[in-house]
Amino acid sequence: MKNVLVVLAAVTTACGSEPSAPRQQPSLSIVAGDNQVDTIGSTLPIQIAAAVTDRTTGAPLPGRVVNWIIAGGGGSVFVPVTQTGNDGIARNTYTLGSSVGVQKLLARYIDPDTGTPITDTAFATALPGRPTLLWANNEAFPHPDGIAWVLVPVTPGAPFSVYFGFQDRNRNARRCTDLVTWTYAGNNGFPDDTVRVNGPAVATAVDSLTWRQDFVITGPGASLMNFTPQAACNTTIVDPLGGVPVLYQP
């Protein structure tokens, strides 16, 4: 009987000494989509991917929640929270904001054992957008609607001016060095030669983003003239944002 008790005690002691599994040491890193370059307001072609792994073994950690936070430059993500797949990677679609320069998207995972946030940041460079809209106004700034009524003198031979500039699709001012051409169209059956460019065809620069084109009334014509500026650097001219209604009574 004494020998049996000794064996049981030995077995009990052996079972109690088994080591516990080591605690996972999670880490997070951006593994795809970093350092892309595109124009402002564009959706980056490569998704941003963040890998959550065990720092000790390098094993992927599936089913982990990753938060996505805009950290600089504006912009947006498709969803604010994603989950890692079997490969330990969470992915998201990143659309750049309207600020030119470096933009940042932060990926964050919270260690459930310690509550410590673990983060990494994806960077992108936002370039100025291509001019897509030509605005014109009777004053040297864009009209909120892109167009404005220009009240001009009614006397033939009287000069007047129209200011114009370029914007990208986010309404940021942009430069365009192309020559701007103007077309005129009237109503009530009057010919379109009631106005013409006054002086050189090349507009006068008011500043680095605004130009002035001078016109002169050459004869009586329509009570409403549509002035439409056009330039080759424009990928699209949104109607009626490309036109300047010029109102005068002959």
- Tens of pLDDT, residues 139-194: 777 766 555 555 555 566 777 787 888 877 777 777 777 777 777 665 554 555 56
Q: Tell me the CATH number at 195.
A: 2.60.40.10
**Total structural domains in the chain?**
2
pLDDT number for residue 12? 42
> Which helix H or strand E contains 247, and what residues bound it?
strand 244-247
Task: Tell me the CA distances in angstroms from 230 to 27, 74, 241, one per residue in order.
Answer: 54, 32, 11
Q: Are residues 95 and 165 in the same domain?
A: no
Q: Is residue 155 part of a domain?
A: yes
**What does the alpha-carbon distance between residue 21 and residue 129 come to, in Å, rounded to a whole number?**
54
**Mean pLDDT, the chain, as a whole number?**
78
Q: Of 127, 145, 162, which residue sits at a domain end?
A: 127
pTM of the model: 0.59
pLDDT digits (tens, 9 = 90+) for 213-235: 888 877 665 555 666 677 777 65
Q: Are residues 116 and 213 in the same domain?
A: no
Task: Tell me the CA distances in angstroms from 108 to 21, 28, 53, 235, one per residue in order.
Answer: 26, 8, 13, 39
Q: Is residue 51 part of a domain?
A: yes
Q: Is residue 19 part of a domain?
A: no
Q: Are residues 87 and 143 in the same domain?
A: no
Q: Are residues 137 and 236 in the same domain?
A: yes
Q: What residue numbers bound the domain in which 209 lies?
A: 133-247
146: phi then psi, degrees, rounded to nearest 5: 90, -20
Task: Tell me the CA distances in angstroms from 6 to 13, 51, 115, 137, 178, one per residue in order.
Answer: 11, 52, 46, 102, 99
First-to-final CA distance of the chain: 128
Q: Is residue 141 part of a domain?
A: yes
Q: Is residue 18 part of a domain?
A: no
Q: Of 75, 105, 127, which residue sits at a domain end?
A: 127
**What does the alpha-carbon distance between residue 199 and residue 66 come to, in Å, rounded to a whole number?**
62
pLDDT digits (tens, 9 = 90+) for 7-39: 434 444 444 556 666 788 999 999 999 999 998
Q: If pLDDT is split at 50, 70 and 90, which confidence band does 56 have? A: very high
Q: Are residues 81 and 161 in the same domain?
A: no
> Which residue's structure tokens are 């001009």?
152
Q: Is residue 6 part of a domain?
A: no
Q: Are residues 115 and 194 in the same domain?
A: no
Q: Are residues 90 and 75 in the same domain?
A: yes
Q: Of 103, 127, 151, which residue sits at a domain end?
A: 127
pLDDT number for residue 7? 40
CA angle 120, 123, 129 (to 5 degrees): 155
**What does the alpha-carbon distance between residue 92 and residue 104 come to, in Å, rounded to a whole number?**
14
Beta bridge partners of 217: 195
Higher pLDDT, 140 or 72: 72
Q: Is residue 177 part of a domain?
A: yes
Q: Are residues 67 and 152 in the same domain?
A: no
The region that residue 44 occupies, defined by phi over 0 for left and psi between -120 and 50 for alpha, beta otherwise, is: beta
pLDDT number for residue 70? 98
Q: Are residues 142 and 200 in the same domain?
A: yes
**What does the alpha-carbon distance between residue 196 and residue 217 come to, in Å, rounded to a whole number?**
7
